[in-house]
Chains A and B, each alone.
Chain A
């Protein structure tokens, strides 16, 4: 179990979901003649001028609107994603410059499939908890890629969230502890220069997602001495609707605890942003004293589990920036052809 010397928490948070939605029925119409079940209702699709950088900047600005701190006091900007705009040139330096955090700042891009954002949060807990820095900006954001016609095309979505980690005394929610469970598991990967990821079909469920999410979750609760009934909300990484529902059930959580943070049916799987943006939807309506249990998952594979307690400051900051449901409500449905254009799947030359 990871618990810093000084208590740390969330001083500000911000979400971002792009405007466009591709219904899963559109993918089925093109590739399966409309037959078969659909894993979600629709997914969020980034516009032509959006990428992980532009979306990270907006989520970071929302986090700063809520925190109302001087951005030059931020000591690290870490962006977790598997869709950084450049192969070599940090997303994080551009975010730092755009929000006024540069130049006295650590900055780096992280990659751990869908776990890179929660990894940035744990790193932030370390910096703030050790006293090395007052604030750390941790972002999980993706414009997830999927091979046309692949099962992942139904769900691979765009969006994410930013968290400003800081001292517990200034926080709207405090981290009680975190715990990580990481192994070498061949469930999903993308080689250098490859446009689309590959997946090791039979490794996706039990050996990867369920093994890591439930082990990290169980061990953190065991070490803290908590049980699912101690929490008001649970949010898990959500690659589709069924996986988090089943993992929550295995861990002993109810559908009532899961539903607020379960956004995948209406925005899809935002990869490094997935469990993080679920947490923002919970924080938007949480009350002082509420407890939240979160478990991320990244292929390759690993999970970070967090136990979070909401403080009195939450009600002050909830309305200082657009809420996650505001972004979900801003919605324009597109067809498969427009999706192909927006996601640059057309060969133009």
Chain B
């Protein structure tokens, strides 16, 4: 686990800090130097709603190192309301209840931890919408 990389990406992990391209208007997540849509370098910071829907998903029974304690868990491609598609773990949902098209919302959760003495890594996951609010 890389402490510098985790520190550098903390805002996008905690709160989906994203960019909008000033040239083509597309929302960019994760943030990067060059727009993946039009190759321009003009971007402004933006906040995402955290809402989206499940585009596809798969359940992990054999988890990679560092994630064993969470298995089985479901990974999903989430199509965000603002456009970007991101890969994230689902939480607070039973495996059999996950459906394509299910509305989900972002929550900040523990992703992993570096043994008993290292850093705890927090970041975004998605769960079924708790409720529609005004």
What residues make up the interface of A, taking CB atoms closer than 8 Å to B? 19, 47-51, 53-54, 57-58, 65, 85-86, 94, 97-100, 319-322, 326-327, 330, 332, 348
Q: List 22 A-B contacts (CB under 8 A).
A: A47-B92, A48-B110, A49-B91, A49-B125, A51-B110, A53-B122, A54-B108, A54-B122, A57-B108, A58-B107, A85-B110, A85-B120, A86-B120, A94-B122, A98-B108, A98-B122, A99-B15, A319-B134, A320-B133, A322-B133, A332-B94, A348-B69
Contact yes or no, A47 B120, CB < 8 A: no
Q: Tell me the smallest distance from the CB of B16 to a CB of chain A, in Å.
A: 10
Contact yes or no, A97 B10, CB < 8 A: yes
Question: In the docked arrangement, what's the CA distance between A58 and B108, Å?
Answer: 8
Cβ of B55 < 8 Å from any Cβ of A? Answer: no
Question: Number of residues in B with C-beta < 8 Å to the partner?
Answer: 22
Cβ of B3 < 8 Å from any Cβ of A? Answer: no
Question: In the docked arrangement, what's the CA distance between A330 and B131, Å?
Answer: 10
Q: What secondary structure prevails in chain B residues at the interface with A?
A: mixed
Contact yes or no, A327 B110, CB < 8 A: no
Give every chain A residue within 8 A of B134 (Cβ-Cβ).
Answer: 319-320
Question: In the docked arrangement, what's the CA distance between A58 and B134, Å?
Answer: 17
Question: In the docked arrangement, what's the CA distance between A94 and B109, Å?
Answer: 12
Give every chain B residue within 8 A of A100 (Cβ-Cβ).
Answer: 15, 47
Question: In the docked arrangement, what's the CA distance between A85 and B91, Å?
Answer: 19
Counting residue pairs across A and B whose Cβ atoms lie within 8 Å, the total is 59
Interface string of B97-134 (1 = CB under 8 A from A): 00000000001111100000000101001000011011
Contact yes or no, A97 B11, CB < 8 A: yes
Contact yes or no, A94 B131, CB < 8 A: no
Contact yes or no, A322 B110, CB < 8 A: no
Q: Tell me the smallest distance from the CB of B26 to a CB of chain A, in Å.
A: 23
Give every chain A residue within 8 A of B120 (Cβ-Cβ).
Answer: 51, 53, 85-86
Interface string of B30-48 (1 = CB under 8 A from A): 0000000000000000010
Q: Tell me the smallest distance from the CB of A63 to a CB of chain B, in Å.
A: 13
Give every chain A residue within 8 A of B94 (Cβ-Cβ).
Answer: 332
Give every chain B residue within 8 A of A97 (Cβ-Cβ).
Answer: 10-11, 14
Q: Tell me the smallest distance from the CB of A333 to a CB of chain B, in Å.
A: 12
Cβ of B61 < 8 Å from any Cβ of A? Answer: no
Contact yes or no, B15 A98, CB < 8 A: yes
